[in-house]
């Protein structure tokens, strides 16, 4: 780096003679200070950066020389602090003085009671004050300056009024009237010339000539058009539009008459009639064939029905329908098993057609109801009870349900009957309205099973509501039998049937609700005991 000796001008006079110094000194530096590097990189490389580095070096040398002097830095700092405090104190005193002076001055001028400004404003705006006197002198009054000025410029004898006066021959209005009259006269003459027929170049004359010329051409063209139109609507002209239309209508009429007549076998109407007659004959034949097929099918169905009623197949159908009905009214966790073809606990004994086992979430969990279905003639009730007793032992059930077929049940058999833990009902597999008997029988069997389960678990539960509900269900089912008797003479006893059916339905729904509530309470009690 080359250092110019001009940068060191101003060094003390006691330095060595400059003539003994070299013209320049080559200096190569390796810099590691980030701040110095940043400042140097801010200048362009070359002469600019070297000049900046030389100046910085010179300032550093001068600073080092100053640091080697006899100045006591601590004394300077203390003296500076004292000087700052004195200046601060003087400034505070001056500020307080200025505040007091400013406050007093503002009060003298702006005090609402005694301020100079308030007094001056009152003198200006007070009645008969300076402002009112000035306005009166300048604006109001006959002798005011404004009145005199307006009178001079707008008064009767002012130059403006003289110009606007119609009496002045050289006035503005008189000149404007004369100018307008001259222009209007000239325009009137021009318009009259344009609407005069005496002037060959007038607009009216040219319009009349143009209309006359166009009217002649229009009449000629109109006559030609009317003649052409008359030719088109004349029957005398063979090629006229009316003649062609008449020919077309006649041709169309002949074609329509040809196709819509029954005298011609090839006409469209004749062919349509033949097709319709053919289709009608085919439909009659198909209808007769279908009737014969339906009659044969009905006869076969009746024969099969009679055969099924007389044979054992009807009994199997009755048992299958009963199983579907029981399965429909049982809960999802309740198991319904077909056991009519399997032996039970008793050797070689197949008593008990179905076994209903309540699920683990039921209040009567694990309890079984054995169901026996019979469709046999003259099967006494006593025999049914004995068979139920044997079926309960064979299937380890505590509740028995015997279902008579309504077609083969003895006449004295009731629609619903309870004998202890056994239930006897009468049900028609082909009459959906009797499904209510199966539903109620299952509800009563569920209640009895729940009661047995509770007694077995030594629970102290009040069974009065359950007993009353079961008795009410039995009573209402007897009413259903009564309804069946009413139905035999429906015309005579229709009102009784409707009333009894409504009452029975309402009572059965109420008792079924009571049973459900009691069973839910028992289920909750059993769950609590099992938890404890």
Distance of CA 428 to the CA centre of its chain: 53
pLDDT in tens, 91-122: 898 889 888 888 888 888 777 787 777 777 77
**Residue of 288 and 418 predicted with greater confidence:** 418
pLDDT in tens, 164-207: 666 666 666 777 888 888 888 888 888 887 777 777 777 777 88
Distances (CA, A) of 279 to 124, 259, 274, 282: 123, 21, 9, 5
* Mean pLDDT of the 76-98 span: 86
**pLDDT computed for residue 357 by the predictor:** 92
In this structure, what token pair is assigned to residue 251? 């041709």
Q: What secondary structure does DSSP assign to 65-112, as a single string?
A: HHHTS---HHHHHHHHHHHHHHHHHHHHHHHHHHHHHHHHHHHHHH-T
In angstroms and rounded to an integer, the radius of gyration of the C-alpha atoms of the chain is 67
Check whether 437 has a pLDDT greater than 80: yes
Check whether 402 has a pLDDT greater than 90: yes
Asked whether 364 and 452 are in contact (CB, 8 A), the reply is yes
pLDDT in tens, 115-171: 777 777 777 777 777 777 777 777 776 666 777 777 776 666 666 676 666 666 666
Distances (CA, A) of 382 to 81, 170, 340, 388, 389: 131, 152, 21, 10, 11
Tell me the torsion sign for CA atoms 97, 101, 104, 110. negative
Asked whether 423 and 402 are in contact (CB, 8 A), the reply is yes
Most confident of 72-86, 256-270, 384-398, 426-440: 384-398
Asked whether 351 and 390 are in contact (CB, 8 A), the reply is yes
Check whether 446 has a pLDDT greater than 80: yes
Phi and psi at residue 286, to the nearest 5°:
-65, -40
Query: What torsion do the CA atoms of 294, 300, 303, 309 make, to the nearest 10 degrees?
Result: -100
Check whether 228 has a pLDDT greater than 70: yes
**Residue of 336 and 249 predicted with greater confidence:** 336
**pLDDT computed for residue 67 by the predictor:** 63
d(CA 432, CA 470): 23
**pLDDT computed for residue 432 by the predictor:** 79
Percent of residues, the chain, with pLDDT higher than 70: 74
């Amino acid at each position: 780096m080359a250092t110019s000796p001009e940068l060191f001008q101003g060094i003390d006079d006691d330095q060595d003679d400059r003539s003994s110094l070299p013209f320049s000194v080559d200096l190569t530096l390796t810099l590691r200070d980030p701040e110095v590097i940043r400042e140097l990189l801010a200048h362009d490389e070359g002469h600019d950066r070297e000049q900046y580095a030389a100046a910085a070096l010179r300032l550093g040398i001068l600073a080092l020389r100053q640091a080697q002097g006899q100045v006591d830095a601590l004394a300077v700092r203390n003296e500076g602090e004292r000087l700052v405090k004195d200046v601060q104190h003087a400034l505070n005193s001056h500020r307080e003085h200025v505040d007091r002076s400013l406050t007093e001055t503002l009060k003298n001028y702006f005090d609402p009671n005694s301020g100079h400004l308030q007094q001056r404003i009152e003198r200006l705006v007070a009645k008969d004050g300076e402002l009112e006197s000035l306005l009166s002198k300048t604006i109001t009054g006959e002798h005011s300056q404004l009145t005199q000025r307006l009178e001079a410029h707008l008064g009767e004898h002012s130059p403006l009024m003289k110009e606007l006066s119609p009496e002045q021959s050289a006035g503005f209005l008189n000149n404007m009237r004369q100018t307008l009259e001259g222009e209007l006269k000239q325009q009137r003459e021009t318009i009259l010339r344009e609407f005069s027929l005496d002037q060959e170049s007038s607009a009216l004359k040219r319009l009349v000539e143009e209309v006359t010329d166009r009217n002649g051409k229009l009449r000629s063209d109109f006559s030609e058009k009317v003649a052409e139109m008359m030719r088109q609507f004349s029957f005398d002209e063979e090629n006229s539009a009316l003649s062609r239309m008449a020919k077309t209508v006649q041709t169309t009429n002949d074609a329509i008459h040809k196709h819509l007549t029954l005298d011609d076998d090839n006409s469209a109407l004749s062919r349509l009639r033949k097709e319709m007659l053919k289709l009608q004959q085919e439909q009659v034949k198909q209808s007769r064939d279908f009737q014969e097929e339906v009659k044969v099918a009905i006869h076969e169905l009746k024969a099969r029905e009679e055969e099924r009623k007389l044979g054992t197949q009807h009994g199997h159908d009755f048992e299958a329908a009963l199983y579907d009905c029981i399965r429909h009214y049982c809960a999802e966790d309740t198991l319904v098993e077909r056991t009519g073809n399997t032996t039970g606990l008793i050797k070689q004994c197949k008593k008990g057609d179905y076994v209903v086992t309540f699920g683990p979430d039921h209040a009567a969990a694990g309890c079984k109801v054995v169901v026996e279905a019979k469709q046999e003639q003259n099967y006494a009730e006593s025999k049914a009870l004995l068979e139920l007793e044997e079926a309960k032992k064979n299937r380890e059930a505590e509740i028995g349900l015997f279902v008579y077929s309504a077609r083969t049940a003895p006449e004295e058999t009731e629609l619903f009957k309870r004998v202890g833990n056994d239930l006897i009902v009468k049900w028609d597999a082909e009459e959906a309205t009797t499904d209510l008997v199966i539903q109620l029988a299952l509800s009563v069997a569920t209640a009895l099973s729940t009661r047995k389960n509770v007694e077995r678990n030594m629970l102290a539960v009040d069974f009065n509501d359950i007993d009353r509900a079961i008795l009410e269900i039995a009573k209402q089912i007897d009413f259903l039998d009564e309804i069946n008797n009413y139905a035999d003479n429906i015309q005579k006893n229709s009102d009784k049937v409707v009333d009894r059916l409504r009452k029975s339905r309402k009572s059965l729904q109420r008792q079924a609700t009571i049973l459900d509530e009691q069973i839910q309470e028992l289920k909750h009690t059993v769950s609590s005991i099992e938890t404890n």
